[in-house]
Structure 1
Amino acid sequence: MTTATTRHSDRRISPVFLGIVAVTAVTGWATWTGFAEQPGVAVFLFVTAAWIVSLCLHEYAHARTALHSGDISIGAKGYLTLNPLKYTHALLSIVLPVIFVMMGGIGLPGGAVWIERNRIQGRWKHSLISAAGPLTNVLFAVVCTAPFWLDALDGVPADFQFALAFLALLQVTAALLNFLPVPGLDGYGMIEPWLSHNIRRQVEPLAPFGLLLVIAILWIPAVNGVFFDVIDALLRSLNIDEFQTYCGQNLYRFWTDTNQYCSVSP
């Protein structure tokens, strides 16, 4: 098997990642129980930590799929340890997405793991490697929304519901943006192996600017409105309404003090 070529230490889960998971668990408990005097602080820490966990899993999915597809260099780069500090572009993959969540509540896709594509044979494998990351966001969204579409919210505190709704919004936006066929994003990575060499050569210089282009376009009010209409429609199909995501975002951005319209737990 391909994994036999990686050392055990290359696949050992990083204490850094375990620490982030621990923060997610503790702050999730604080959000559920109302332990914190300021519920917004608990929600902020819970959603941020859970968001970072999802980003790590996103990149892990890329790396693990690449390993099984033939890139045996993945292990030595530390990507299988789930340590965000091992990413090639920690700023793009962790810091920038967290900043955008704090600014406006959008799940910004990042780019991190360096895959040696020349080691991998077969177009389907290349497409699957690119798809693995956003599919992880889809799976994360399914888990976050499960209590809503399963009608299993009895006994779940309002603050925790709102936090899950906002976290689900982040996962859905991240998945949708990542699936866009824009150079530099995973969506383009899925179709790139099927394009002609001439087209790939012409598009390649645009890859470093693809994410910036998406961000710039989303600043256009009309485009932003349509984008979030699509997101709201997807969330409504999962039994999450706009009020829940609104309150979740406002709780998360506790420093704005705009939670007076939300009925939250004490």
Structure 2
Amino acid sequence: MHAPENLLADCGSCFGLCCVALPFAKSSDFAVDKAAGEPCRNLRQDSKCGIHSTLREKGFPGCTVYDCFGAGQKVSQSTFAGQDWREQPSNSSEMFAVFPIMRDLHELLWYLADVRDRDSTATLHDRLAREIDELEALTTSVPDILMSVDVTMLRSRVNELLIRASDLIRAEVKGKKNYRGRDMMGAKLAGANLRGASLRGTYLIGATLRGADLRLADLIGADLRGTDLRGADLRGSIYATQFQINAAQGDLATRIPESLARPSHWA
């Protein structure tokens, strides 16, 4: 798919919400602890990062991985009509509460958009379109309605549809593997044939998938932090996100879905 513009992060149109609303703990991903609602010490008054070009060197690689699916600019410019939380402190608590919910909604829209126009999901096109319309309408709601959304229930409902779509797409692959939900941290799978495999919710942290065939593989929820994807082929993979690609290790030989951008830190 071609990535929908409204689901691509536009940091220049956001009030640094991911740098304020979300918490993070001191770890290999973040150099310090930060509570939810507390501005990151690197966030400038113009909502830009003061160390953007050296985040990894300064101990904040987690920031280079994160992706909001366009929720930041939606909350900043649409839900709160361009009112910066600095200038309207009374809005800040609502804005910070709405942001992660909007991100969840946009993430679901990303998954639905990924399978909406594939030929193999033709029997689901009408239902997929209806679900997208309903979610998009919900994203335009006022803060009170957004904060009342039961994200868990919504994810469960949409997931049933996403599973059906995945099954239809992967049906053409014979002998496909099922690693759904498995702990495969550090697994050695260089050159593996994972075409059409189910890797839903699979832990692949630090795994070696160098040169692996991941075409048509279902990657929803797969943890690819530090996964070696050098030379791997992910074209046509299902439900892959920028967040996952950013967290993995790749190179110029890694082939990724056209909806995703090649991370700048890849060799």
TM-score (norm 2): 0.29
Q: Which has the higher helix share?
A: 1
TM-score by length of 1: 0.29
